[in-house]
A and B are shown apart, each in its own frame.
Chain A
Amino acid sequence: AQSVTQLGSHVSVSEGALVLLRCNYSSSVPPYLFWYVQYPNQGLQLLLKYTTGATLVKGINGFEAEFKKSETSFHLTKPSAHMSDAAEYFCAVRGTGFQKLVFGTGTRLLVSP
């Protein structure tokens, strides 16, 4: 079965610092991987996705993620944090069966001035 592990339920950075949110996955099929962002009291919004092809994927708001098969990882990065990046971030992998996603437990990003 597919699964996702997000290391760190909370990550704190200063404004302007590097953002690194970790995601490791387990999958019995070629993985499709996703990062979603959830701002307070809102639904989830897709940041970026990897299906096939280039392993470095760029998303919205300056975020990017690199698929590393040998490490079964799909970490999310942003060179310089902004206050508006404060949100909860979810990593997901496609599940078995019909068009399902399996989500990690989420990482809350806190950005301080």
Chain B
Amino acid sequence: NAGVTQTPKFQVLKTGQSMTLQCAQDMNHNSMYWYRQDPGMGLRLIYYSASEGTTDKGEVPNGYNVSRLNKREFSLRLESAAPSQTSVYFCASIMNVGGYEQYFGPGTRLTVT
């Protein structure tokens, strides 16, 4: 099992450009999450998906959109990148219904200039 995988590992964008961060898990998990990590602020939830076909906003959803393409894949899209979106982005998935233990991907380091 690869666990949770994310692509790309690194990305540099110019202000106003768009991009999609990809996440996939091969553990048959129902729920998936997108976080951003900023120095001194811990991890903040952007969006989550309780199951295939559903998505919900987290703590900091502005400027982002998500797609739960199927049970395995959950993508995060920045339509018009801003310097404030410079961050490290992590995808995670939950082991089972009713559980809280999250499994994390390796992260995508995004810089917006």
Contact = CB atoms under 8 A, between A and B. Distances in A.
A binds B: yes
Interface of A: 9, 32, 34, 36, 41-46, 49, 51, 90, 94, 98-101, 103-106
B34 interface: no
Contact of A101 (B40, B98, B102, B106): B102
Contacts of A106: 42
A103 to B, nearest CB: 4
B40 A9 contact: yes
Contact of A105 (B41, B50, B103, B105): B41
A80 to B, nearest CB: 27
Interface residues of B, number: 26
Nearest to A9: B40
B94 A99 contact: yes
Contacts of A94: 100
Contact of B48 (A32, A36, A43, A98): A98
